[in-house]
Amino acid sequence: MNISANQASELSAQQEYPSFEQRHYVEDVSVLFEMVGLPRMAGRIFGWLLISEPPYQSHSELAEVLQASKGSISTMTRLLMQIGLIERFSLPGQRRDYFRIKPDSWSEMMRQRIVQNTAFREIAERGLKLLQDTPAHLHQRLEEMRDIHAFCERELPVLLERWEQERRQPQTNSQVSL
């Protein structure tokens, strides 16, 4: 039986309790998350995973560092995995699971934006159907809404593709070749 690990605290030797600056950082990330409509606790978890050493943290480490209940951590990590920002993995020979920022998480989010964008285009088209027997000037607002979303529906995937490429070969196109 391995009793070398600290039993009093889940925190490993290399990771002290968060410093003042670290706690402040975590809080600020949580505020950003709130701004885009996500729960604060999800932002705290994400914020801590951005700066923690090591870059992966267990369920109970998160609970301790963030002073949150296990239930809350469980719910929020599930949410963060759902929207593709973090991932779960296990280390061989260790029972507990760890979470870390998912490489590529931001592309994932961008893809979800594209899905939302499609929903807006579709509802604009539904609106136009409702107005199909009316004078054309009533259609303008919906046509504009449809057109910009159709535009983004075409262009955002292209942008995403460019990003993926640029990331693989950095420096290659600091001078963009248009």
Partner DNA sequence: ACATCTGTTCAGTAAATACTGAACAAACTA
Partner DNA sequence: TAGTTTGTTCAGTATTTACTGAACAGATGT
- Chain contacts with DNA (rule: CB under 7 A): 1, 34, 39-42, 58-60, 67-72, 74-78, 95-97
Whether residue 46 contacts residue 86, with contact meaning beta carbons closer than 8 Å, is answered with yes
Contact residues for 61 (Cβ-Cβ < 8 A; gap 6+):
10, 11, 15
Q: Rg for the chain (alpha carbons), in Å?
A: 22
Minimum CB separation of residue 177 from its own copies in Å reads 9
Q: Does residue 49 touch its own copies according to CB under 8 A? A: yes
| Structure tokens that stand for 5 in this block | 């690990």
| Structure tokens that stand for 83 in this block | 């929207």
Nearest alpha carbon to residue 82 among 67, 102, 65: 102
41 binds, among its own copies, DNA, none (CB under 5 to 8 A by kind): DNA
Give backbone dihedrals phi and psi of 86, rounded to 5 degrees, phi first: -130, 170
Residue whose CB is less far from DNA, 59 or 139: 59
List residues binding its own copies (CB under 8 A): 21-22, 25, 28-29, 32, 35-37, 49-51, 53-55, 100-101, 103, 106-107, 116, 119-120, 123-124, 126-127, 130-131, 134, 137-138, 140-142, 144-145, 147-149, 151-152, 155, 159, 162-163, 166-167, 178
